[in-house]
A and B are shown apart, each in its own frame.
Chain A
């Protein structure tokens, strides 16, 4: 029993031991696993403690944005949003000559598509064996298609942008032009070059104050007059007198900004801003405004204009001599140089200088163009200068300066900085230069000059046009050329509430049979202004109406009309 029990004991002993061992081994697996898990947790804890907190990862909404249309240069539009300049994608053709098997054949085919290229030149380029050679920049889509149709893999295209002016010559001088790399070289393209070319702002359009329809009416009429009177040049302006915005600006001869290669400098020259001219009698408006505003004369006064005036070496004559005593309205209406010169003497040299300075006629015009001409001011302002400047000789200013000055004379006396950018708030730049009351008198005088005086051919029926003719002999070295005239007309309408000023200038017009050989402003430039007003007034929202004759009655009575005699 003892042995049995011992044996039994022993077996149970070994059994128990092995069971414990097994249990322990199993336990060890658990411990190792736990230890491992804890190690991971410790490691993770340390990692979290050490590392910066990571943002929570959540499912992000996939936002798809429409890619912006990439353009290298912002568009230019007119006041109604009509496109004046835009960038379009084009292709430029280059070749990889080393890949070309048959340069002669390829050159022949290419020249048949692009006739402006010379065969010899293309052939030389293609057989040069280089890796890259430009053939032609800026192909039309059709040309690109045809070149592709040749099927020559060595011809390749590079995407480029081209500046397009859809209206061609229209407003060329305002817009300017760009070089082949898209840098603005003239007009507003040059003035606003940094803004237009700013990569981050190309979606912002530059809105000009121009109205392309009025621009065309002016350009068309001026062109027709230039042809009819064989003038060597012309300039025209339409300006909003209450804001100083330029609605149209024309300079002839002009050019096509789409293709400026070979354009002569005379064509690029902007006569409306860079050209300075002695503008003749239109200047009398300023002299009269000055005299009336200072109280030097009143409407009822007058001057003796029986004989030409002699001052140093000048002889001041009248183009339309009346040879009698003239009242102030008569001097203006019949455009008497003698009367105006005497009035200027009464104003005095210093005051005249100050007044013209206030109107900005002695400094270059401040406008958004770099092509701005500086006025030609007499070096010494003598008594004779005072007298000649009073009727527009001896001081040369640009048409733009004249237009903004005249605008101030009629709009109630506020001189606005002229602007080419659409900005209805531009009137805030204005400063009062003459009293509103004086401005009213000037309106009456301007209207009388059209109804009774030299500007009769500018009277657009229904639109109450007022204005002043200007005829000046061209200054040449050592005096004036009697045969070469600058004929102009400065019109404003409607005169009872002036809204727009229209200016037309012809350089060296020649008389025709229709004008009986006359080529003064009243004959050649005034009809241009009338036609422009007739064409553009409906577009500008000025309605024709019956004139209130009472407005001008007082002044009209002071004018003794020769027709009545």
Chain B
């Protein structure tokens, strides 16, 4: 009885010791991993700074203009070619017509348009009556 208890205690102690050691090693590995990732992030951020500067250098308007003249047949737009109000474009898909209601939110502009339409229809109704 006594002997088994001792053996059991010893085994438990060894097992828990091993488990703690295992845990510690795992945590250490994870920490190393995270540190490595943090270092990598820093390196990437530094690289991004360089790339951003390079991007700015490569896309400076002067360069874009030269490229455009060389490779594209584009001209600056004339006033006539610019449409300020996109609704003037014919056959432009308007998207799904959805009624405003609970759980259906419409953009403010669309809502106004709807309500003004309703008002108008009501007014015309009133006139016919």
What mask results when residues 70 to 84 of chain B are scored 1 for a CB within 8 Å of chain A, else 0?
A: 000000111110101
Q: Interface residues, chain A, CB within 8 Å of chain B?
A: 62, 64-69, 71, 82-84, 86, 88-89, 164, 166-168, 170, 212-213, 215-217, 220, 460-463, 534-535, 538, 543-545
A544 touches B56 (CB 8 A): no
Chain A CB within 8 A of B50 CB: yes
Chain B interface secondary structure, helix, strand, loop or mixed?
Answer: helix
One of B27, B41, B62 near A170 (C-beta < 8 A): B62
Query: CA of A534 to CA of B77 in the docked complex: distance in angstroms?
Result: 8
CA distance A544 to B81 in the complex (A): 9
What is the CB-to-nearest-CB distance from A211 to chain B, in angstroms, rounded to a whole number?
10
The residue that B79 contacts in the complex, of A68, A166, A220, A461, with Cβ under 8 A, is A461
Binds A, one of B5-13, B31-39, B105-113, B118-126: B31-39
Do residues B53 and A86 form an inter-chain contact, with CB atoms below 8 A? yes
Whether B49 lies near A168 (C-beta < 8 A) is no
Q: A65-B38, A463-B79, A545-B84 are in contact. Are A166 and B45 (CB under 8 A)?
A: no
Listed in ascending order, the chain B residues whose CB lies under 8 Å from chain A are: 27, 31, 34-35, 38-39, 41-42, 45-46, 49-50, 52-54, 56-57, 60-62, 65, 76-80, 82, 84
**With A64-B38, A69-B49, A86-B52 known to touch, is A168 a contact of B79 (CB < 8 Å)?**
no
How distant is the Cα of A164 from the Cα of B58 in the complex, in angstroms?
13
A544, B84: Cβ atoms closer than 8 Å? yes
A460-B84 Cα distance, complex, nearest whole Å: 16
- A83 partner, pick from B31, B53, B80, B84, beta carbons under 8 A: B53
Q: Which residue of B lies closest to A531 (CB)?
A: B76
Is the pair B38, A67 in contact by a Cβ cutoff of 8 Å? yes
- Residues of A close to B35: CB separation below 8 A: 64
> When A69-B46, A220-B65 are in contact, do A462 and B60 touch as well, CB less than 8 Å?
no
CB < 8 Å neighbour of B60 from A68, A167, A460? A167
Chain A residue numbers with a CB within 8 Å of B82 are: 462, 538, 543-544
Besides A83-B52, A168-B62, A461-B78, 8 other CB < 8 A contacts? A65-B38, A71-B49, A164-B53, A166-B53, A166-B54, A462-B78, A543-B84, A544-B82
Q: Given A213-B61, A220-B65, A543-B84: A64 and B79 within 8 A (CB)?
A: no
Q: What would be 22 A-B contacts, judged by CB atoms less than 8 Å apart?
A: A64-B34, A65-B38, A69-B49, A83-B52, A83-B53, A86-B53, A88-B53, A164-B53, A166-B53, A167-B61, A170-B60, A170-B62, A212-B61, A213-B61, A216-B62, A220-B62, A462-B79, A462-B80, A534-B79, A535-B76, A538-B82, A544-B84
Asked if B42 contacts A166 (CB within 8 A), the reply is no
Could you say which residues of chain B place their CB within 8 Å of the CB of A217?
61
CB contacts (< 8 Å) of A164 on chain B: these are: 53, 57
List of B residues within 8 angstroms of A167 by Cβ: 56-57, 60-61
Q: How far is the CA of A535 from the CA of B79 in the complex (A)?
A: 10
Q: Which A-B residue pairs are the 3 nearest by beta carbons? A: A462-B79, A543-B84, A216-B61
Q: A64-B31, A212-B61, A220-B65 are in contact. Are A88 and B79 (CB under 8 A)?
A: no
How many angstroms from the CA of A220 to the CA of B52 in the assembled complex? 24
Q: A86 CA to B50 CA in the complex, in Å? A: 9
Q: B79 contacts which chain A residues (CB < 8 A)? A: 460-463, 534, 544
The answer to whether B56 touches A83, judged by C-beta atoms less than 8 angstroms apart, is yes
Q: Which residue of chain B has its CB nearest to the CB of A213?
A: B61
Cβ contact within 8 Å between A88 and B60:
no
Residues of chain B within 8 A (CB-CB) of A86 are 49, 52-53, 56
Residues in A neighbouring B61, C-beta threshold 8 A: 167, 170, 212-213, 215-217, 220
A62→B31 contact, CB < 8 A: yes
The answer to whether A89 and B76 touch across the interface, beta carbons within 8 angstroms, is no
The docked-state distance in angstroms from the alpha carbon of A222 to that of B50 is 31
Q: For B41, list chain A residues within 8 Å (CB).
A: 66
Instruction: Chain B residues near A220: list those with CB within 8 A.
Output: 61-62, 65
Q: How far is the CA of A183 from the CA of B94 in the complex (A)?
A: 56
CA distance A62 to B84 in the complex (A): 57
* A175–chain B nearest beta-carbon distance, Å: 13
Interchain CA distance A535-B31 in the complex, whole Å: 55
Query: What is the CB-to-nearest-CB distance from A49 to chain B, in angstroms, rounded to a whole number?
Result: 34
Known contacts: A164-B53, A538-B82, A545-B84. The answer to whether A67 contacts B60 by CB under 8 A is no
